[in-house]
Structure formats: C-alpha cells, structure tokens
Structure 1
Amino acid sequence: MRVATYNIHAGVGTDGRHDIERICTVIEEIGADVLALQEVELHDAEHGAIALLSQRYYEIGSSPVFTKRGHPYGNLLLSRFPISHIRHLSLCVMGCEPRGAVDVDLDAPGGLRVIATHLGLSPGERRDQVRRLLRACKEPQVSAGLTVLLGDLNEWLMWGRPLRWLHRHFGETPGYRTFPTFYPLLALDRIWVAPRSALIASWVHSTRTARRASDHLPLVADLLLPDLTTDAAPEAAGRSSRPPSRLR
C-alpha cells in the first residue's frame, strides 16, 4: 500500500501560476492509495479539478482550518479505502494562524488509522501541537492495525523536541528534504507509521512537473499491511515508475 503527503501551496507553482490540473498530474504520477494534501482551497475538492481526480478514490476527508478568499482552506485526505470514522482535531494556538488535523479510520485489511496535519511556523506552537497529536494517538480508536501520521510538520530543527517526541512514539524515520522544490534544503514533510516495521520504503517524488507545481515536493512511502491480499486491496492506478529506496 502506498501513502503520500503533499503541500500543494493552493495550486500555485514555482512559476507563480495557479494550476490545479498540474497538481493533479503530480498526484496521478504518485499513484497513492492514501494521500494527504495541505494548503488546499477546499471548494476545489467539490467543484474543481481535484473533484474529478477524487472520483477515482472511494472517499474524501477534509479539515477546513480557516477561510481564504471567501472559501474554506485546509487539509484534504483522499483514500481508496472507505472511511469508517472521521474526527477533526483542532491544533489552534492563540495568536497564531489556525491549524488542524483530519483523523480517520479506514476499512483496510487489518485496520488503518491515518492522521493528516499541517503544523505551525513557530517552535512553541509546534511543541503544543505535537503534544496534542500524541495524546490523540494514545486514545483507543476503532482501528486496531496500523497508525499513520503524515503531513507538513514545518519542523526544520532536526533535533527539535517535536521530532524527538514523534520518533520516540513511532520510531525514527528518515527526514528527506522536500522544501523548497528548486533546491530542497528542509525536511518539512514527514511520514510516521506504527508499528515502524510496516514502513518498508520511502522517497521524495521529484519529477519535472512536481518541481514546478508547488513549493513542496511530495513525500511517498510504501507500507506493508497485515493480511493484505490482492482480493482485499482496492485496485491501485498509476503507480510511480520511480523505484523506491529501501529503508535501513
């Protein structure tokens, strides 16, 4: 099974053009079964090009965090597996831009919980938000199998407390540089999986289109679901031809 996280910068690319169709091309290149998007103008999820793309998925989960240009704006989750439960987590900190997470249980083999988020810009804000996310992760939920936490963590301090806390809970995962696209320096986008052994490969999706479509590159991971069979899994379309790097 493939998961990915992608900050689409509201569809505005590095050339300054607003082009949701280009974002959709990148998404199709990735071929993820579960995809977390950040900085999404959520009316596009209902009426724009993303709506057409999302028809290839079973369900959509969204988490608006504020209004931008008169439209809801925030996190979007696309899943080829049906969503059985959805929760919206507020990660707002007073005096800072509103933030949140969408937390879903998916009808996947063995059970799958996915939390997709986009954290704040200040260190103190991120510490508070990660504490809230970890409290949510420790609460018993319907899903009994894998838990995936992914999104734009905005954490550029490699040894900062938020990353240490997340590594302690989930197990350490590689930090691949995804921002900015023209010369990636910062590992802002992250994927964690519990149990850690289910994460079998991860990589940055860096195609010519991806380098122009947004200011972030997508981060992709392949997971091993328990008892996953060909009959149980939804048919995946458009897998990336880029060979993933094996994790050590």
Structure 2
Amino acid sequence: MKSPTHTLRLLTANIQAGSSTRRYSDYVTRSWSHALPSGSKRSSLDAIAKLASGRDIVGLQEADPGSLRSGFTNQTHYLAQRAGFNYWSHQPNRRMGGVASSANGLLSRLEPVEVQDHALPGRIGGRGVLLARFGDGREGLAVAVAHLSLGVGSRLSQLDFIADLMSDYPNAVLMGDFNCKAERPEMQVLYRKTRLQPPGCLVPTFPSWRPDRAIDHILVSDSLRTLETGAVAAAHSDHLAVEMQVEVPGNSLR
C-alpha cells in the first residue's frame, strides 16, 4: 500500500523591500528608494501578497523589518496579514542605522513546532538562515530560508554551516537567494552532507527584466518529489520569485 503524501505549494522571493528595479540604470537613478519610503512600495507589497496567497509556505529575502525606508512597517508581518497566513517569522540581519534594514521571512499556513534563528559566518556579518520545523521527531519537515553572500569564500562557509544544520533532517527544503548557480563548486557541500539535491530544472531569476542567471533556488531532499517548478514576477523586484509544488510524506507534517 502506497504511503500517504501531501502536496505543498512553495514560493521563495527576494522582494527588494518593495522597491522597483526594471533596468540596471535604476540602481543609480532610484537609489533613493533604498533609503526612503515611497508610495509605490505599498502597492508592490500588495502585489507580492496576492502572489503569496496561493501558497502554503513562502520564504522571503530582503523584507524590511521596520525602518525608515518601509515607513516603519514590518513587511513580513504586513504580507502575512494581507495574504492570510496565520503563522509568520522574521529574522532581521543587516541594519544600516535606522534608515534601512533587511530580514529573512517565513509565511506559513502550517503551524511550525519550532523556528530557529541562526547567524551565518562570513567576511562581513549580517547574513542569516531561518529554520522552521513541522511535524514531530526526526521525520518532520525542515524548511530553511537563507540569503547568501556575494563572495565565494563567504558563501562556502555559509553553505557548510547550513549543511551541518540540515544534515539530520531526511525531509528538508532550503530556499532563498543563493547569489550563485546550483552547480557552483561551493554548492557541492550541501549535496555531500545532506539529502538536498540539485534542482532538476534550472530557472533563471536575475535580473528580473531579462533573466539569465539562476541564483534563486528551492532545493528539496531526495525523499520529496518535485511536481512543478517555475519563475514568476515578484512585483518589480530585481529578482523573479521561484515557485514549486512538492509532494512530501504525509507523516512529515504530523
């Protein structure tokens, strides 16, 4: 008799704190939007909330936890409310005075039994991984959200840390902005130390207006079955979001 399974709808999105970037020149001409609030950020967040509302678990990167540029709005909380998620967590990591701040975020329709907040190593501090556990015991589902560094050396130490963190979970998902392709040499530590697998389908996500680099990923362990993967616009962020449907063992959520 086939064991029962459950299908989860996943999404990971670097939301760029609700800012709009539609071309490389915007990094210069719209640089003020990374420090000051603007009316368009609220409408961007509403569009992201609409996108998230059709999912079961959502990982966020570059969600402002409540600084000047967001109008002192905790964007993860705002999205949870607008998209109808009962459970949410955020992990503030990079702070630039009171002007701007950045966080990893998690939205979930399932109640986690535990949420862990871990700082990641790196040459420059301010990176982290958020780990949520669902279900009881070792067979439960572990879902991690991370935003990795631009530098190869820092990424390698961060991936090694995450691999050690997730090595004991047979049913696992790691999602986020990796700032590198899934086949990069530093990524191999994940595949060696954990049951996480390289993605079966490479989805270019950056830059969002002409994507040619697959640097945002949802990695799942070999005990889970990927049903569908694709990229979708996250309002006007410079990254496309990655969506996935995945089949998980039914006992991993109990």
Which TM bucket (shorter chain)? 0.7 to 0.9
Q: Does 1:26 align with 2:48?
A: yes
Q: Is the counterpart of residue 182 in structure 1 residue 209 in structure 2?
A: yes
Deviation at 1:196, TM superposition (A): 5.0
The answer for the alignment partner of 2:238 in structure 1 is 215
Distance 2:74 2:89 in 1: 16
2:10 maps to a residue whose letter is: V
Q: Where do 1:55-134 residues align within 5 Å?
A: 55=81, 56-70=84-98, 72-94=101-123, 96-107=124-135, 111-134=140-163
1:121 positional shift: 0.6
TM-score normalised per structure 2 = 0.76
Q: Is the Cα–Cα contact under 8 Å of residues 38 and 118 in structure 1 kept in the other structure? A: yes
Give the distance between the partners of 1:131 and 1:200, measured in 2 at CA: 28
Distance 1:125 1:101 in 2: 14
Deviations 1:72-92 (A, max 9, x none): 521011111112101111113
Q: Give, as a single letter, the amino acid of the residue that structure 1 aligns with 2:240.
A: L
Distance in 2 separating the partners of 1:197 and 1:51: 29
Aligned to 1:149: 174
Q: Which residue of 2 aligns with 1:165?
A: 189
- Asked if the contact 2:178/2:217 (under 8 Å) is kept, the reply is yes
SS in structure 1 at match of 2:158: helix
Q: Which runs of 5+ in 2 are unaligned?
A: 1-7, 23-29
1:214 to partner: Cα distance: 0.5
Aligned-CA RMSD value: 2.7
Q: What is the distance in 2 between the residues matched to 1:84 and 1:197?
A: 20
In structure 1, what is the Cα distance between the partners aligned to 2:9 and 2:144?
A: 15
Aligned residues of 1:171 and 1:196 also touching (Cα < 8 A): no
* 1:9-24 correspondence runs (5 A): 9-14=16-21, 16=30, 18=38, 19-24=41-46
- Where do residues 222-233 of structure 1 align in structure 2 (5 Å cutoff)? 222-227=245-250
Distance 1:196 1:220 in 2: 19
Instruction: Say which SS state the counterpart of residue 136 (structure 1) adopts.
Output: helix
Work out whether residues 61 and 78 of structure 1, in 8 Å CA contact, stay in contact via their aligned partners in 2. yes
Count, aligned residues: 219
Distance 1:33 1:214 in 2: 22
Distance 1:58 1:118, change over 3 A: same
1:110-149 deviation per Cα after TM superposition (whole angstroms, max 9, x unaligned): 7321110000010011000000000001146xxxx62110
SS in 1 for 2:188: helix
Query: Pick from 181, 201, 224: which aligns with 2:228?
Result: 201
The answer to whether the Cα contact below 8 Å between 2:223 and 2:248 also exists between their aligned partners in 1 is: no
Distance 1:49 1:97 in 2: 22
- Find the counterpart in structure 1 of residue 165 from structure 2: 136
- What residue number does 2:3 align with? none
Supply the distance in 1 between the matched residues of 2:71 and 2:197 (Cα, whole angstroms): 33
Q: Distance in 1 between matches of 2:60 and 2:75?
A: 14
Q: What is the CA–CA distance in structure 1 between the aligned matches of 2:91 and 2:75, rounded to whole Å?
A: 19
Structure 1 unaligned spans of 5+: 234-248
Hey, what does 1:6 align to over in structure 2? 13
Q: What's the secondary structure of 1:51's corresponding residue?
A: helix
Which amino acid counterpart does residue 54 of structure 1 have in structure 2? A
Moved more, 179-188 or 47-56: 47-56
